[in-house]
Amino acid sequence: MSGPRLAVLDYGIGNLRSAQKALEHVGADAVLTDDPTVAERADAVVLPGVGAFGACMKALRTHGLEPVVHDAVASGRPFLGICVGMQMLFDSSDEDPDDAGLGVIPGRVAWIPPGVKRPHMQWNQVHPTRSDEPMFTGMSPTPWMYFVHSLHGVPLDPAHVAATCDYGGTLNAAFRRSNVFATQFHPEKSAADGLALLANFVRLVAGESA
């Protein structure tokens, strides 16, 4: 592959390879790795995740990858969190309150309010909150993405919300803090719109690494 080098962090939970394959499809040289040296040398780092918050945090720490996340974020390189990988970037989660998160995005992950079916498992339109977000460049004003979740991120600073969706009310669906972008939805499972978002990430990385 001739595209930018992306390290997709492998901490042994879920089908993390699907994110790697989708990134390869849109032109990245994406490698699934638990090697801190590989992540350190990559142009960008991706943290996917499926399952329970606490189990994912324990697995990340067991694999020695928590410092890798913090180092990647501090380096200023583009960083992408997906689904539970996004949730892990927060301080804590109501799902497993005894397990601390990574604290990259100040705030907590809260249960979807009552009155709707949990999990939210369907296609839904995403509403970007700002016109200058590069991850949504060239896409429709309300792209369709695929969700599977029962909680959503609630940052202390509302300016960190990059997109919302409507599911029994407004839920936060994507986040931006400096070089970090994170999605509650699964872009790797979201057909054309999801691939377009990942392609935007790869182009952003290529620009950063050029």
Q: What pLDDT sits at residue 15?
A: 72
- Contacts (Cβ under 8 Å, ≥6 apart) of 72: 7, 39, 40, 45, 79
Which pLDDT does position 65 carry in this prediction? 97
Closest CA to 34 of 2, 59, 4: 59
- Positive or negative: CA dihedral 124, 53, 108, 80: negative
Known active-site residue 188? yes
Residue bearing tokens 């705030």: 107
State the catalytic residue, choosing from 120, 152, 160, 186.
186
Please report the pLDDT score of residue 210 as a whole number: 45
Residue-level pLDDT at 1: 52
Q: Quote the pLDDT of residue 58.
A: 97
Select which of 83, 120, 149, 165 is catalytic.
83
Q: Which candidate in 24, 56, 152, 188 is catalytic?
A: 188
Q: Please indicate whether residue 186 is annotated as part of the active site.
A: yes
pLDDT for 80 equals 98
Q: What is the pLDDT of residue 98?
A: 95
Per-residue pLDDT of the chain (210 residues; tens, 9 = 90+): 579 999 999 999 877 889 999 999 999 999 999 999 999 999 999 999 989 999 999 999 999 999 999 999 999 999 999 999 999 999 999 999 999 999 999 999 999 999 999 999 999 999 999 999 999 999 999 999 999 999 999 999 999 999 999 999 999 999 999 999 999 999 999 999 999 999 999 999 999 754
Element (H, E) at 6: strand 5-9
Strands 29-33 and 120-125 turn out to be unpaired
How do residues 65-115 score in pLDDT, each as one tens digit? 999 999 999 999 999 999 999 999 999 999 999 999 999 999 999 999 999
Strand 161-166 relative to strand 127-128, pairing:
antiparallel
What integer pLDDT is reported at residue 16 of this predicted model?
82
CA dist 198 and 193 (Å) reads 9
